[in-house]
Amino acid sequence: MSIEKYKIVEGQVKVTYELALGRTWSHFYDCFKEGKIMGTRCRKCSRVLVPPRSFCPRCFEDMDEWVEVSDEGIIETWVYVNMPFFAQETKIPFISAQIRLDGCDSGFTHIVGGVDMSDLDKVRAAVKLGGRVKAVWSREKKGSIRDIEYFEPVK
């Protein structure tokens, strides 16, 4: 038996989900519509987490105290993404970042925008670790992560 070329079957799979955000995360996005970023505070370790949690993963206690955090913060770390892949939700190139919002104890993942993306050196001049950024809210808010268009370096 000789095989000239091994056969390949191409396939794509699509299935649909209806994923519940539940009480805590629904409230978080309701507040987005008013331009507010809300976190929850743990009564035991007193950390404030964004996204808010209904319980503290460390203390394993309910977290029902809501705290408004700033829509401004510092960049903990960032990445310039220029790698395309299937089902990517944000168009490349983009800058993904961890932002420590003022009044919050965890990093909030979002994108940094409002900078010249045409070359990497310009990006590196504008986006700095430890640099301050502020949310740019979209005009029409729908209660989703996209209600913040991006975070912009504070001049």
Write down the residue that tokens 């996209």 correspond to.
Answer: 146
Q: Which is nearer to other proteins, 18 or 140 (CB)?
A: 18
| CA-wise closest residue to 43 among 18, 62, 17, 67 | 62
Phi-psi map region of 74: left, alpha, beta (phi>0 left; psi -120 to 50 alpha): beta
How far, rounded to the nearest angstrom, does the alpha carbon of residue 135 sit from its chain's CA centroid?
Answer: 12
Binds other proteins (CB under 8 A): choice among 36, 43, 46, 90: 90
**CB under 8 A: which stretch of 35-43, 56-64, 66-74, 134-142 binds other proteins?**
56-64
Binding residues (CB under 8 A) for other proteins: these are 6, 8-9, 11, 13, 15-25, 49, 51, 53-55, 57-60, 76-83, 85-90, 94, 96-98, 106-111, 120, 124, 129-130, 145-146
